[in-house]
Amino acid sequence: MERPTNQTTVPAHTAATWLQRWDAQQEFYIADREERFAVIADVVTHVVASVDHPVVVDLGCGPGSLAARLHERLPRATIIGVDADPLLLGLARTHYGDTIEWVDGDLAGSTWHHHLPPTIHAAVSTTALHWLSRHHVAELYRFLGTTLAPGGALVNGDHLGHDDQRMNTLGTHVRDQRAQRAGVRENEQWDTWWDAALADPELAELNRVRATRLATRAAADGTTTGDETADGHTHHGNGLSVEGHTRLLHAAGFGSVAPVWQVGDDHVLVAIR
Ligand SMILES: C[S@@+](CC[C@H](N)C(=O)[O-])C[C@H]1O[C@@H](n2cnc3c(N)ncnc32)[C@H](O)[C@@H]1O
C-alpha cells in the first residue's frame, strides 16, 4: 500500500540542499529561469489585481520553485501546487511547508482537480506541459477554459518551438548562446540530479513511495518501468509549437492568446479567458 507523501519525513536541511541543487539543475536548461518566474508572477498579479483572495494553481509544480515565488509576490493568494511525483512533492512539502497547498495528482488523469476549489483565478506552469500528450494538453485546456474565472489566465513558461522550421532553428541557437553567456553550462544536469537523489539514504522513504507509484502506473499502462529512464520519467515531448498551443487554447474558449516574453525558444505564453 502506497503511503501518502504528506506522511513521509525528510530532514529540513536535506530538503533545502536538494531544492538548491534542483534550481541550479533546471537553470542548465533555462538560463533565465528566475526572470521567467518573475514574468509569470507579473502576469498573475495583473490578472488577479481586483480579486481579494485569488486562487492560483501551479501545474506540474515539481519541488515548488514557482509556487514559492508566487507566494512571495502574492502573500494573500491561495497557491496550490499539483504534481504526480512523490519525491518532488515530498521535498516541496518539507521545504515550503503549508504556506502552499500541495496536491498529489496526475494531470493526465481525470481526478486531479477534485482537490481544487470551484473557482480558480490563474493557472501557471513551467517546463511541465510538454510532458503531457497532445490529447491530454487539449483536455487540460478545455478544463481550464471552463473552470478559470472570466478574465482569469493560463500562464505557461516552457521551451516552445514554431511551426516554421527556420524559426525553430534560430530559437534554439539564441537559447544556446544565452546559456553560454549566462555560464549555466557547467551546472549539474537532470540525470545526475536524479541519480544522486535516488541514491540518497535520507530520501529512501520518499524513493520507496515513488517506486511503488511507478510500478503501479506501469502495471496500469501495460508498460514496464524499463520503458522509462532511470529517474522514472518518460520525457515524451509533445512537440507542440507556440502556434499549436495557441490553436488548442482558442479551441478551448480562451479569447486572447499570445506570448508576453521570449528568449530564444523559451516562452511565456498567456491565454486569457
Ligand atoms: C521539468 S519538471 C519542472 C518542475 C517545476 N515546474 C519547475 O519548473 O521546477 C516537470 C514536472 O512535471 C511533472 N509532471 C509531468 N507529467 C505530469 C503529470 N502527468 N501530472 C502531474 N505532474 C506531471 C513532473 O513530475 C515534474 O515535476
Give me the pLDDT at residue 218, please: 86
**182 alpha carbon – ligand 1 mean position (Å):** 24
CA torsion 138→35→261→233, rounded to 10°? -30
Its CATH class, for the domain covering 12-272, is alpha beta
Give me the pLDDT at residue 225, please: 44
Q: Is 156 in the pocket of ligand 1 (CB under 6 A)?
A: no
Q: Is 249 in the pocket of ligand 1 (CB under 6 A)?
A: no
Contacts of 91 (CB under 8 A, 6+ apart): 10, 15, 18, 19, 22, 63, 64, 206
Give me the pLDDT at residue 9, please: 80
Q: Where are the domains of the chain?
A: 12-272
Beta bridge partners of 172: none
All cell numbers assigned to 59:
501545474
**103 alpha carbon – ligand 1 mean position (Å):** 12
Burial of residue 95, with CB atoms counted within 10 A of its CB: 0-12 exposed, 13-18 middle, 19 or more buried: buried
Q: Is 60 in the pocket of ligand 1 (CB under 6 A)?
A: yes
**95 alpha carbon – ligand 1 mean position (Å):** 17
Which residue's C-alpha comes closest to atom 16 of ligand 1? 131
Q: Is 163 helix (H, G, I), strand (E, B) or coil?
A: coil
Give me the pLDDT at residue 2, please: 44
Give me the pLDDT at residue 236, please: 52
**85 alpha carbon – ligand 1 mean position (Å):** 7
For ligand 1, mutation pick of 32, 131, 194 (most atoms within 8 Å of CB): 131
C-alpha distances (whole Å) from 196 to each of 18, 188, 202 are 10, 11, 11
Radius of gyration of the chain measured on its C-alpha atoms: 18
Helix axes 12-29, 33-47, angle to 10 degrees: 100
Query: Which of 56, 62, 53 minimizes the C-alpha distance to 41?
Result: 56
Are 131 and 236 a contacting pair, CB within 8 Å? yes
Give me the pLDDT at residue 231, please: 55
All cell numbers assigned to 171:
530559437
Q: Is 103 in the pocket of ligand 1 (CB under 6 A)?
A: no
Q: In whole angstroms, what separates CA 8 from the centre of its chain?
A: 22
All cell numbers assigned to 28:
542548465
Give me the pLDDT at residue 263, please: 97
For ligand 1, mutation pick of 21, 66, 107, 129 (most atoms within 8 Å of CB): 107
Helix (H) or strand (E) run with residue 166 in it:
helix 165-182
For ligand 1, mutation pick of 69, 83, 134 (most atoms within 8 Å of CB): 83
Give me the pLDDT at residue 194, please: 98
Give me the pLDDT at residue 25, please: 98
Q: Is 104 in the pocket of ligand 1 (CB under 6 A)?
A: no
Q: Is 25 in the pocket of ligand 1 (CB under 6 A)?
A: no
Mean pLDDT by 10 residues, the chain (273 residues): 60 96 98 98 98 98 98 97 97 96 96 95 98 97 97 98 95 97 97 97 96 90 53 68 98 98 98 97
In the block, cell 506570448 appears at 259
